[in-house]
C-alpha cells in the first residue's frame, strides 16, 4: 500500500517521529505541507521562547512548592502569603503547561535541584526565622521572575507565550511588592 506524502508525514507524526528531510512518495514538492506539519509539532518555536517557558516553569513550580512550606512553617501573615502564592502560581503554571503542550515544548514537572536545596534549608526553620528567610527568597525570586516575564512580553517571538508573559507580569509585580512590604514590616 502506497501512502501519499501528507499521509506519510501524518503517520510518522502520530507515532512521535519527526524527520528532518521530507519524504516525497508522490514526487511532489509540497513544502507548505511540511511547514504546517513542523508547526503543529512545535518545530517553529524560537529557542528564546523555549528558554522562557522552561525558566518560567521552573520558577512557577518552585513558588508553589515553597508556598506550601510557608503554609506549614510561617507565622500567620506569611502562611496567608504562601497560600496566595500556591493559588496564583498554580493557575499560571496550568496556563503555561497548556501553551507549552500546544507548542510541543516539554516542561519540567518537578522543582529543580537549586529550588530543592532552598526548600530543604527553609524546611529546617520555623516562625520568625522562617518568615525572614522565606520573604527574602520571595523578593529575590520575584525580581528575577518580573525581569524574565517583562523581557518575554517585550521581545518574545511566539504570540501565545508573549501574551502569557504580558498578562502574568502585573501579577508577579504585585507579588514582589507584597513580599517587599512584608519583609519591611518584619524588620521594624
Q: What is the pLDDT of residues 96-151, one digit of tens each?
A: 999 999 999 999 999 999 999 999 999 999 999 999 999 999 999 999 999 999 99
Residue recorded with cell 498578562: 167
pLDDT of res. 188:
77
**Where along the chain do the CATH 1.20.1260.10 domains lie?**
47-186
Q: How many residues does the chain have?
A: 188
Q: What is the CATH number of domain 47-186?
A: 1.20.1260.10
Give the residue, 99 or 26, on which the prediction is more confident: 99
**Assigned C-alpha cell, 141:** 525570586
Is residue 91's pLDDT more than 90? yes
Read off the pLDDT of residues 29-51 as tens digits, 9 standing for 90 and up.
Answer: 433 333 333 333 445 899 999 99
Tens-place pLDDT, residues 56-81: 999 999 999 999 999 999 999 999 99
How much is the pTM?
0.75
The three-point CA angle 54-139-127 to 5° equals 115
The CA distance from 72 to 168, in Å, is 26
Q: For residue 52, how many C-alpha atoms fall within 13 Å in the half-sphere facing its CB?
A: 29
Amino acid at each position: 500500500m502506497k501512502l501519499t506524502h501528507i499521509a506519510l508525514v501524518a503517520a510518522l507524526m502520530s507515532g512521535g517521529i519527526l524527520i528532518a528531510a521530507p519524504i516525497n512518495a508522490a514526487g511532489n514538492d509540497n513544502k507548505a505541507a511540511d511547514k504546517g506539519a513542523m508547526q503543529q509539532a512545535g518545530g517553529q518555536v524560537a529557542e528564546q521562547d523555549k528558554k522562557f517557558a522552561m525558566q518560567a516553569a521552573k520558577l512557577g513550580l518552585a513558588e508553589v512548592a515553597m508556598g506550601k512550606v510557608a503554609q506549614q512553617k510561617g507565622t500567620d501573615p506569611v502562611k496567608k502569603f504562601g497560600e496566595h502564592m500556591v493559588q496564583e502560581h498554580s493557575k499560571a503554571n496550568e496556563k503555561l503547561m497548556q501553551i507549552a503542550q500546544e507548542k510541543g515544548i516539554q516542561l519540567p514537572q518537578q522543582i529543580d535541584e537549586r529550588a530543592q536545596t532552598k526548600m530543604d534549608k527553609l524546611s529546617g526553620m520555623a516562625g520568625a526565622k522562617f518568615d525572614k528567610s522565606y520573604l527574602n527568597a520571595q523578593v529575590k525570586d520575584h525580581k528575577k521572575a518580573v525581569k524574565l516575564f517583562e523581557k518575554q512580553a517585550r521581545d518574545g517571538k511566539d504570540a501565545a507565550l508573549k501574551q502569557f508573559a504580558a498578562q502574568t507580569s502585573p501579577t508577579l509585580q504585585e507579588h514582589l511588592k507584597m513580599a517587599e512590604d512584608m519583609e519591611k514590616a518584619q524588620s521594624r
